[in-house]
A and B are shown apart, each in its own frame.
Chain A
Amino acid sequence: MTTKHAAETPPPDGPDGLQEHFDTTIARDQRVEPRDWMPDGYRRTLVRQIAQHAHSEIIGMQPEGEWITRAPSLRRKAILFAKVQDEAGHGLYLYSAAETLGADRDDLTERLIEGRQKYSSIFNYPTLSFADIGVIGWFVDGAAICNQVPLCRSSYGPYARAMVRICKEESFHQRQGYELLMTMMRGTPAQRGMVQDAVDRWWWPSLMMFGPPDDASPNSARSMAWKIKRHSNDELRRRFVDMTVPQAEKLGVTLPDPELRWNEETGHHDFGTPDWDELTRVIKGEGPCNAQRVQRRRTAHEEGAWVREAATAHAARQAARAEKGAVA
């Protein structure tokens, strides 16, 4: 088993002993837990990664959430409503995991709405038809699964455990999305057109979800050494393409890449290069919906301030009343 708690053998005193103990924990594929000593860089990297992941769940509610009130059947409405609710739940787990490292949820929220922390670039694209709901499930949840399943073995215990539950729900969402597309492809010509259009718009942004190419990903090597991350961006991207191609064939849609073909020699698909300049622009805040997404989150947070203040004031008054009662 690789899940054994690292602190079973007490760490030797002194900075060198602590570092050595940490290194051994990583080398043995054991888990680092919140109370264990860890290098500052490890802690910072994890807080940044987990916070970005949490922000992505919360911002990711918006493109899909827009369609809950418009879903064209009650069954699809229930499925989508539940999916978006799951995303809020994932955000909550992940903020909690970040808090085990000393981060503060309010502070992370401030960083998000002030643009000081990022979220996945994919959520800066618009959802233009109900087929987008299916394609987001298939591609975006699919890419998230490719990225996240290896994180179930991440070296940081609370993150790894959160990912186990999140991945189960993501795979459920992915199947729901694919099933919607299957149903639509069996429907009217207009529905089939909507599916192909959504595939065309979401394919390249989905490939960008794995991040920049390995030779341009500055933080990857260190994260892999620390076993926070388990596979490189390019490796995960290639695996996503290999798994998605036969599913597209079965669905009856065309993936919008003229260079896409099976390579007998490598045993993988060759595929075209995503527009990395576009990814850079979207990450910099210049994607089609960046401003709108952050603004919505900011508005919800600001307009909800009086509610949170009231809850805090009530709790304080309750505590004071309880104390008074205890004294009397």
Chain B
Amino acid sequence: MSDDHVYLTLAEGHEDDTRWAYGTGFEDPLHGVDTAVPEGVDAGELAAQCVALADDALVGAQRLAEWITRAPELEEEVALANIGLDLLGQARLLYTRAGQVDGTGRDEDAYAYFRDPADFRNVTLAELPGGDFAFTVVRLLVLSSWRLAHFRRLTGHPDPVLAAVAAKGVKELTYHRQYAAQWCVRLGDGTDESHRRMRAALEQVAPYLGELHAAHDVRDEVADDLRQVTGAAGLTLPVHRPLPGRGRAGEHTEHLAPLLTELQGVARAHPGATW
């Protein structure tokens, strides 16, 4: 019966297996790409830059994944998953690049699963616990605005791989920022309760802006985005005393370790396993 075709051929090989996901059916993810480090680029610095940006993305994706089956509406389940998947994809390419240039030959999973919290270089804003939907969209707005401005600059980076990852990321981050901005406006302009929650979320996020600018100084672009969105939402960005966050130096809040325990638990329980 023709209906059964897809099921009957399940156990056979498929030529299109690479459709499954990045990392399926090949050993060398950047096969055919010139992966030599260009002249004038410090390999150690490039690797550190890739790891830091990958850590921001992986930790951000993990927090978004926590929303799955808990979002306020099914459309938001789909959108938050989309954004989480984009960030996860960025993390994977950046870890892969780091492993090629830092001399260790590590693969993406070695970075994600077998480093301890103090080895992670993500900014601390990314690791703060989920909070409510207002906090989620405010954090997403700030992080995507900041990352987008930085990625725009990286599209001109002398390393062609990092430049290509950034170029791909710009398209994705433009959508993330748009999604977050729309919700910030809806919530700021919505009901008394949503307005109150937005004000609280801005209070919570604002002190972390200093750490972002210390990592990559794109403060003018971020300030423009925030001014535009808070203006349309009837909100004001609170004046804040910046927290001395130093995630880029491996100094984290108490929230990163439990996040990594959950992320890494199964992988670490089965050394030598392949998945």
Q: What residues of chain A have their CB less than 8 Å away from a CB belonging to chain B? A: 58, 61-62, 65, 68-79, 81-82, 84-85, 88-89, 91-92, 95, 130, 138, 142, 145-146, 149-150, 167, 171-172, 174-176, 178-180, 183-184, 186-188, 190-191, 239, 243, 246-247, 250-251, 296-297, 299-300, 303-314, 317
9 cross-chain CB contacts under 8 A: A58-B74, A72-B273, A73-B23, A130-B275, A176-B21, A191-B270, A296-B70, A307-B76, A309-B193
- Contact between B7 and A72, CB atoms less than 8 A apart: no
Is B8 on the interface with A (CB-CB < 8 A)?
yes
- Contact between A145 and B7, CB atoms less than 8 A apart: yes
- Contact between A188 and B73, CB atoms less than 8 A apart: no
**Which one, A74, A142, A184, A303, contacts B92 given CB within 8 A?**
A74
Q: A69-B66, A85-B82 are in contact. Are A308 and B275 (CB under 8 A)?
A: no
A305 vs B72: C-alpha distance when bound (angstroms): 7
Per DSSP, are chain B's interface residues mostly helix, strand or loop, or mixed?
helix
A239 vs B6: C-alpha distance when bound (angstroms): 13
- Contact between A130 and B266, CB atoms less than 8 A apart: yes
Residues from chain A with Cβ under 8 Å of B189 in the complex: 313-314, 317
Please provide the chain B residues from 1 to 17 with a CB less than 8 Å away from any CB of chain A in the complex.
1, 3-4, 6-8, 10-11, 14, 17
Is B150 on the interface with A (CB-CB < 8 A)?
no
Chain A CB within 10 Å, residue with most, of B4, B113, B197: B4
Is B244 on the interface with A (CB-CB < 8 A)?
no
A124 vs B229: C-alpha distance when bound (angstroms): 43
**Which one, B82, B85, B273, contacts A190 given CB within 8 A?**
B273
- Contact between A70 and B71, CB atoms less than 8 A apart: no
- Contact between B193 and A306, CB atoms less than 8 A apart: yes
Is B68 on the interface with A (CB-CB < 8 A)?
yes
A205 vs B46: C-alpha distance when bound (angstroms): 51
**Which one, B78, B108, B185, contacts A74 given CB within 8 A?**
B108
Residues from chain A with Cβ under 8 Å of B6 in the complex: 145, 149, 167, 171, 174
